[in-house]
Amino acid sequence: MLLTETGRLDSLQIQQLRTFGENVNGLGADFAVCDSNGQLILVCESGSLESDWKSILARTIEVFRNPGKSITGKPFIVSDSILSAVLTAEFGKPQLFALVNMPPQTKSDAVAERKSVSQQKQPSIILVDYLSLLLESFQSRLKTEKHIQSFTRELSQAYEELALIHKLGASMTIRDSDQNYLEMVCKSLAEIVVAEGIAILLEDRSTGSLVSVAGSGLVEFDRAGKSLLLERLTAELKQGKDALLDSNAFSAFRYSWPENIQSIIAAPLYGKDRSDSPMPGKSDAGRLIGILVAVNRLDKPDFDSADIKLFSSVATNCAVFVENGRLFKDLKELFIGSLKALTSSIDAKDKYTRGHSERVASIARWIAEKYSEVEFLDQEQIHNIYIAGLLHDIGKIGISEAVLCKNGKLTDDEMEYIKKHPSIGAAILSQIKQMRNLVPAVLHHHERIDGKGYPSRLAGKDIPLAAKIIGLADSFDAMTSARPYRPAMQIEIALNEIKNNLGTQFDEKIGRVFLESNIYDFWESLQHKSADLFSEDEFAEAGEKAAETVKIEDSNAKI
């Protein structure tokens, strides 16, 4: 007996076939399992026959490939001495055959009809029955295993889909940009759905057209193609469907698509109704603000109903994120506008300091960004430094204009009085829960490294980093701005003053970063641009980088 395993059969299947072979050998016949590529998988020989397996296999394949002969689901006779049965017929894989080579004394009986039930069966008839039972048992076991495998795959996919939905919810950080979050969505979805390309299109709120913002793989739609996709998805939604699904896998396309598309799925992103939006597609679920689309399923012929459920769930998460982000952006702009109005009212008390708070905020942000290249500062820290810069002089609201706008040298008492503005500002902000983290920067922005500042005479490392940065920005703007008692300094003189006071008034590391930056170009832009241009979004806006391989158009569109 010779046993050869190739990985096509598991150990239980091998044992089943081996047991069958031993029984066949007891009847003086040889048994083998082969595939349609001409390879022997298993051989059980009785020792009484000389079996030419190469010749037997060739004749078996020839009969099997005869289009006029139906041999599926039952044993078939290859020749006077050879019986065979198709054990497996998996799509895309070579078929497996069970072959029985019968002994010479049974050859005349192999093709005979059974004469009566009561007649004793000849060995050939017994072998046919044996092979029929083997085929029935083997097919039943294969069917059970396929059901188990299918259930396991479905269970595994369901787990992956649940894990993806959980991940999307857990990753939904309001301060993240649309692109960063949506790119993560596409890449995570691509790990579950094997497709040529996945992309997310969002509305451009200024034009109502779709723009590509994120993707994984290759998805190309020009402007006309995006409009056509939107039109067809809208038509499907009006018919009560949850998504657009179309392919030529099992029938012709319902719609005409570019030649490179073989299958496509598109799910809607629904947002809140906005009467001022030109985007079509309003429904009971909301107004269409975008599309999650994928093309060309690679691991199976077409997208299916399970994919529709998954894409619809993912699209819902994306829509919630986008809508929340837009709402947050609107609130943030309102917040920044309110701060600007407040600081402008403070600056308006003194015409010589008009715009001072916004300039200090912009300079402080510049310094913080440059400093973050040396020592790590995250975007939230830089944002807080900017806001603290806007509010650093808010305490002056409690200082008399007679002192604040005095044209001439202040008396000692007046100087002590005006030095109270950091404490007044800190007291104001401490009453606002969301701004308490800004209090240290506002309170200590007039401290000095040598401990001679105010109000707490802190020194060195005891001074908060944000306060050091704002203090430097405040001094630089004060030196380069005109005052009633002196003209504005030339920028070179102001920079030299900062250099000479490193380690005493200013932190040396922060000062060096500022002095070594491209301050002249920044200063030039600060002088020639209106103050309004410096109320930039401090949280990350929609990132400039979209899908690595997705064709992005209308990159300047407002989303």
> What is residue 404's predicted lDDT score, i.e. its pLDDT?
78
> Parallel, antiparallel, or unpaired for β 76-77 and 82-88?
antiparallel
- Distance from CA of residue 300 to its chain's centroid? 22
**Contact status, residue 315 vs residue 292, Cβ threshold 8 Å:** yes
CATH fold of 171-327 reads Beta-Lactamase (3.30.450)
Domain with residues 11-145, CATH architecture: 2-Layer Sandwich (3.30)
Please give the Cα distance from 203 to 280 (Å, whole number): 10
- Taking the C-alpha atoms of residue 372 and residue 326, their distance in angstroms, rounded to an integer, is 28
Which burial class, exposed, middle or buried, applies to 430 when counting CB atoms under 10 A from its CB (0-12, 13-18, 19+)? middle
pLDDT of residue 174: 53
Determine the Cα–Cα distance for residues 352 and 123; give it in Å rounded to an integer. Answer: 116
What is the pLDDT, as a whole number, of residue 4? 47
Q: With beta carbons less than 8 A apart as the criterion, state whether 437 and 467 touch.
A: no
Whether residue 360 contacts residue 368, with contact meaning beta carbons closer than 8 Å, is answered with no
For 123, residues 6+ apart whose C-beta sits below 8 A from its C-beta are: 27, 28, 29, 102, 103, 105, 106, 109
**CA 71 to chain centroid:** 50
Domain with CATH 1.10.3210.10 in the chain: 350-528
Sheet holding 263-271, edge to edge: 210-217, 195-203, 287-297, 263-271, 244-247
Written as six digits, the tokens of 440 are 């240290």
- Of the CA atoms within 13 Å of residue 104, those in its CB half-sphere come to 3
- Collapse the DSSP code of 28 into the 3-class scheme (helix H, G, I; strand E, B; otherwise coil) and give the result: coil
The answer regarding whether domain 350-528 maps to CATH 1.10.3210.10 reads: yes
Range(s) within the chain of domains with CATH label 3.30.450.40: 171-327
**CB distance 452 to 471 below 8 Å:** no
What are the residue ranges in the chain where pLDDT is below 50? 1-6, 106-121, 274-279, 281-284, 530-559
> Do residues 245 and 301 touch, judged by C-beta distance below 8 A?
no
Rounded Cα distance, 217 and 279, in Å: 27
CA distances from 120 to 98, 116, 125, 188, 234 (A): 25, 9, 10, 66, 73
Q: Which residue type sits at 31?
A: F
List of E strands, 287-396: 287-297
